[in-house]
Amino acid sequence: MSTTERPRILVVGGGYVGLYAARRILKKMRYAEATVTVVDPRSYMTYQPFLPEAAAGSISPRHVVVPLRRVLPKAEVLTGRVTTIDQDRKVASITPIVGEAYELPFDYLVVALGAVSRTFPIPGLAENGIGMKGVEEAIGLRNHVLEQLDKADSTADEDVRRKALTFVFVGGGFAGAETIGEVEDMARDAAKYYTNVKREDMRFVLVDAADKILPEVGPELGKWGLEHLQKRGIEVYLSTSMESCVGGHVVLKNGLEVDSNTLVWTAGVKPNPVLARYGLPLGPRGHVDTAATLQVQGTDYVWAAGDNAQVPDLAAGEGKWCPPNAQHALRQAKVLGDNVISGMRGFPQQTYKHANKGAVAGLGLHKGVAMVVIGKTKIKIKGRLAWYFHRGYHGMAVPTWNRKIRVLADWTLGMFLKREVVSLGAMENPREEFYEAARPVEAPAAKAAPADEKAKAS
């Protein structure tokens, strides 16, 4: 018996997998065959590969996100969090952004929560670190970096200047290498407009616990990317980690100590911890354990994919798992959507199998690395051509033609117009100026009468 008048397909998460899976289900579903409900604390999906370019001002932040209600007009979109799931009753507990929590019954479940930043109990990290998982963080990082240039330009205090112009990035994977490459490029351009700040005054530091950066593109291109960043004056410290960053005083395990107002943390991701409250089988690292059909092990009504799932990589061989990237997430979402429809109708499930097509990374304007796989041949590209591959691939991969055209327009304008180097840090406290103008003015305290006047009065 259905939990509602018609079956409900509950999609937990509106990210890459959640958005594409819901679109696929709605496309393949017959009229009124089921209700598709998408729950996410944000009403939009973020295309994360574009966050470094958004932080550098190459793409408008609004064009990096896709509004769920606009793209899924036939779905029920709820802004909130799924905090727990009772698998026996097939009921999810929903906590909306306002109001009391409530229960929502479902018949079929899609788990697409994605991942969160992987952090460690490092003193000072929570207070000083800046992540790069959301568009809010990308905007905040851009404003913050430009504010540090403003601060350094307006003071003669060398200690203040040094701390403001030192930028530390932890994590040398795609997110870390691309972000430091884009931000350094932006800061280099911005320095041209300052009287007392030059690129030589800035210090960029990249730290990684591994012995290489950009492992996704292979050792040869990773080495080229490392040398390229070093030629741009970026200090790279490998096989080391950060021990503390209390008060902006960064201490590395190799003994290096620097003072910095800017600490960007991109040291990997982990599955969303809330998965532990969903009553599903989890792998050793906290991912939902799925079969090659993307069905959760031991169930016939739950599917999972993307960064929060442990999906067998049939193309790579037995015992291998699909890496957490957009290339797999997009294709898994389509197979998942088809399998949900098949599960509703009692048809067999299809397995997910996708051979790696390569990887691309941008390291700033006209700079990048790319490893393209054609058949069994790996083509390695670096420099400007790789940058074109990077933009071409992600320009086509970003969801909806609306966003593709807007991003292309941003890139086209960037070819003819100079990069904007304006900090809008006041956006973080937009009412502050109005509050100062509108709050009641306190009356000055009455002056005390002189001692001799008090004596005369007595």
Query: Element (H or E) spanning 395, and its range?
Result: helix 384-397
Q: What is the mean pLDDT of residues 201-211?
A: 96
Q: What is the pLDDT of residue 449?
A: 57
Bridge partners, 382 (sequence order): 369
Q: What is the mean pLDDT of residues 360-366?
A: 93
Q: What is the mean pLDDT of residues 293-316?
A: 93
Q: What is the mean pLDDT of residues 341-345?
A: 95
With a cut of 90, say whether residue 373 has pLDDT above it. Answer: no
Burial of 429 (0-12, 13-18, 19+ CB in 10 A): exposed
pLDDT in tens, 375-420: 778 899 999 999 999 999 999 989 899 999 999 999 999 888 887 7
Q: How far apart are CA 196 and CA 217, in angstroms?
A: 39
Instruction: Tell me, rounded to whole angstroms, the distance of Cα 55 from its chain centroid.
Output: 11
Asked if residue 134 lies in contact with residue 50, where contact means CB atoms within 8 angstroms, the answer is no
Q: What is the pLDDT of residue 428?
A: 64
> What letter would DSSP give residue 441?
P
β-bridge pairing 309-310 and 288-289 = parallel
Asked if residue 361 lies in contact with residue 152, where contact means CB atoms within 8 angstroms, the answer is no
Q: How far apart are CA 52 and CA 186, in angstroms?
A: 11
Q: What is the mean pLDDT of residues 296-304?
A: 95
Beta strands in 247-301 (DSSP E): 249-252, 257-259, 262-265, 269-271, 288-289
Half-sphere exposure of 1 (CA within 13 A, CB side): 2
Nearest one of 199, 202, 118, 211 to 168, comparing CA atoms: 202
β-bridge pairing 269-271 and 262-265 = unpaired
Percent of the chain with pLDDT over 90: 75
Bridge partners, 10 (sequence order): 37, 109
User: Which range among 10-19, 418-427, 440-449 shows the weakest confidence by mean pLDDT?
Assistant: 440-449
Average pLDDT, the chain: 90
Q: What is the mean pLDDT of residues 266-282?
A: 92
Q: What is the pTM of this model?
A: 0.87
**50 CB-near residues (< 8 Å, 6+ apart):** 59, 63, 64, 394, 398, 407
Bridge partners, 295 (sequence order): 303
In the block, residue with structure tokens 């009553």: 279
Give me 64's structure tokens. 């990096």
Q: What is the mean pLDDT of residues 327-353?
A: 94
Q: What is the mean pLDDT of residues 196-201?
A: 95
With cut-offs at 50, 70 and 90, classify the pLDDT of residue 95.
very high
Bridge partners, 264 (sequence order): 130, 169
Q: What is the mean pLDDT of residues 327-339?
A: 93
Q: What is the pLDDT of residue 454?
A: 53
**DSSP 3-state assignment of 152?**
helix
Count other Cβ atoms within 10 Å, centred on residue 402.
14
Asked if residue 17 lies in contact with residue 306, where contact means CB atoms within 8 angstroms, the answer is yes
With a cut of 80, say whether residue 2 has pLDDT above it. Answer: no
Q: What is the pLDDT of residue 427?
A: 62
> What letter would DSSP give residue 295?
B
Asked if residue 53 lies in contact with residue 362, where contact means CB atoms within 8 angstroms, the answer is yes
pLDDT in tens, 102-122: 999 999 999 999 988 888 999
